[in-house]
Structure 1
C-alpha cells in the first residue's frame, strides 16, 4: 500500500469523479484508475462503485475513507516535523533593530544562538520602529527590537526590554545641567534635537506634547541616538532621548523630563506563530534580556 494510492482514492471519493480527481492530483485519469484498482486488489475489496456516472463509495470504501485521511494526515505531520528539524540545520533569520541603537544583550543572544546553530544565516536590518513593526507583520523580518509609546502592538508577541522615561541631554555649561527634573512645559522654551517620527521615543514625546497642548520647537532630526547627542553637544539644541541612552555621549548631562505619562518602551516583537529557527532564538533573547 502506497501513500499515493490513498491520495488518489481520497481524491476520487471527494470529487465523486475520476476525471476531476485526475485533474486534482495532476496525473492522467487512467493513472488514477489504475492506482485505485491496485489498492482495491491489495485490500481485497471494491472501494469505488463505477457502475454509474458518479463514482460512489461502496460500503468498504466508506469504511476505509477515515483511515485513508488519517494516514495522509500523519504523513503530512511527519513531513512538517522533519521540516522543522531541517529549519534548524539550514535557515535564515532577519533581525531588525532601531537605527543606531546598539543593545548589547541582543548581540549576546545572537552570538549564543549562532554557536548552537551555525548554519542558520543571520541578517540584521536597521530602520525606525514603525518600519520594523511593519516588516515583522509583513514577514520580511522575523523579529525586531523596537521602541514604542505606551504599549506594544496587540497583534504581535512581545518581550518588553525596558519601560523608561525621557531625558534631556545638555552640555555641562547649560543652565539646565543642574536640574533634577525638567518639566515638559519648561522644555518648550528650548530648540530641540530629536529622533525622527516613527520611533518610540519620538512618539512618546509627541503624544505628551499633544496632550499638554504644546508645540515643540524641533530644529533638527537625526536617525541615530548618537547623532542626536552629538548635535546637542555642539550647541544645536537640547537632545530628547530615553533614560537608557543617557550614556550615549559621556560629555553631556542627562536631566529627566517630567510631566510625560506615556512611557517609552523598548521591546522585542515577533509574529505569534514563530518558526523553528525563531523559536530557538527566543530563549537566548529572554535569558540575555531577563524575564518580562
Structure 2
C-alpha cells in the first residue's frame, strides 16, 4: 500500500467528493477511483460504500481514515524535520519559483536582498506549481513564488503579489501571429505547450483544461528554453503569466494577450510560507519582491 493512496483516500473523505478530491490531488477522477479500488482489493474489505452518486465510509473505512490521518501527519513531520536538520548548517533563505517565470523583478529582489543581508545565503530552485507545493509543505524551501490554485490555507502566510494577465507566445510564422489578441477558442487547433515534468503532465493538463478553460491538445517541455524552441518550430503556443517586467521577445516570436471570449485570462501570483517557519528574512524578501512588482 502506498502513502499516496492514503492521501487520496483521506482527500475523498475530507472533501466528501471524488471529483473535488481528484482536483485537489491533481489527478483524474477515474484514476483516484482506481487507486481506492486497489486499496480495497489489497485489504480485502470495503472502505467506501457507493450508492448511485453518493457514498459513505464503512466502519472499516472510518478506522482506515483516522489512522491514515495520524500516519500521514507523522510522515510529513518526519520529512520536514529531516530536511530542517540536514539544511541547518548555515543561515540561508531557500526560494522556489515557477519554471515558466520570466519576469525580471525576482532577479532584482535577489540582488537587493543580497546587498542588504550579505550574511544570508540564498538558494533558488525552479519547479512546477505541484513541485513547489510539495517543497514548501515538506520543508524543502522557506518561501515559494507560485500561482494560486488551491484555497488559501490557515497554516500558511498567503501574500498576494499581483493579479496578472496571461499571454500566448506564438511563432511569427503562425497565421494567428498577426492578431492583437487571441482567444482560447481561436487557439483550439493550436497545441498548448506546458512546462512540466513527465509525471505531472496529466495533472497540469487537467488544470489548464478544466480550471482555466484551455481547449485542444497539449505538448510538454521540461523548461522554458525548450518550450520557446518548440514555439520557434511553430509546434504550438506557450502560455505565460505577465509577472512584472518581462524580457523582450525575439523577432520570430509574438507575445499576444490571451482572452477567454471578451475577458482577459488572469492568474493570481502569491508568495507562500509556513506560518510556523516564519522569520524576518522570509518576510523581508516577500516585501522586497512585492514592492518591485508594484
Q: TM-score range by the shorter chain?
A: 0.5 to 0.7
> What displacement does 1:119 show?
1.9
**Matched position secondary structure for 2:118:** coil
2:273 corresponds to:
270
> What displacement does 1:203 show?
6.8
Greater radius of gyration (CA): 1
Structure 1 unaligned blocks of 5 or more: 1-89
**Matched position secondary structure for 1:284:** helix
Change (3 A) 1:187 1:154: farther
- State whether residues 97 and 127 of structure 1, in contact with CA within 8 Å, keep that contact through their aligned partners in structure 2: yes
Matches within 5 A, 1:78-157: 91-99=91-99, 101-149=101-149, 155-157=155-157
How far, CA to CA, are the matches of 2:239 and 2:120 in structure 1? Answer: 38
> What displacement does 1:95 show?
0.9
CA RMSD of aligned residues (A): 3.3
**Matched position secondary structure for 1:146:** strand
- State whether residues 95 and 124 of structure 2, in contact with CA within 8 Å, keep that contact through their aligned partners in structure 1: yes
**Matched position secondary structure for 1:122:** strand
1:195 corresponds to:
195
**Matched position secondary structure for 1:165:** strand
Structure 2 unaligned blocks of 5 or more: 1-89
Matches within 5 A, 1:116-265: 116-149=116-149, 155-196=155-196, 197=200, 205-208=208-211, 215-218=215-218, 220-244=219-243, 247-259=248-260, 263-265=266-268
1:3 corresponds to:
none
Aligned residues: 197
- 1:137-176, Cα deviation, whole Å (9 max, x unpaired): 2222111111334866564223333323333222223211
Change (3 A) 1:181 1:227: same
2:286 corresponds to:
282
- State whether residues 158 and 269 of structure 1, in contact with CA within 8 Å, keep that contact through their aligned partners in structure 2: yes
Change (3 A) 1:173 1:116: closer
How far, CA to CA, are the matches of 1:285 and 1:103 in structure 2? Answer: 11
- 1:79-114, Cα deviation, whole Å (9 max, x unpaired): xxxxxxxxxxx6221111122534422222222222
- State whether residues 147 and 201 of structure 1, in contact with CA within 8 Å, keep that contact through their aligned partners in structure 2: no
**Matched position secondary structure for 1:282:** helix
- State whether residues 143 and 269 of structure 1, in contact with CA within 8 Å, keep that contact through their aligned partners in structure 2: yes
Change (3 A) 1:246 1:206: farther
- State whether residues 174 and 234 of structure 2, in contact with CA within 8 Å, keep that contact through their aligned partners in structure 1: no
Change (3 A) 1:199 1:124: farther
> What displacement does 1:225 show?
2.9
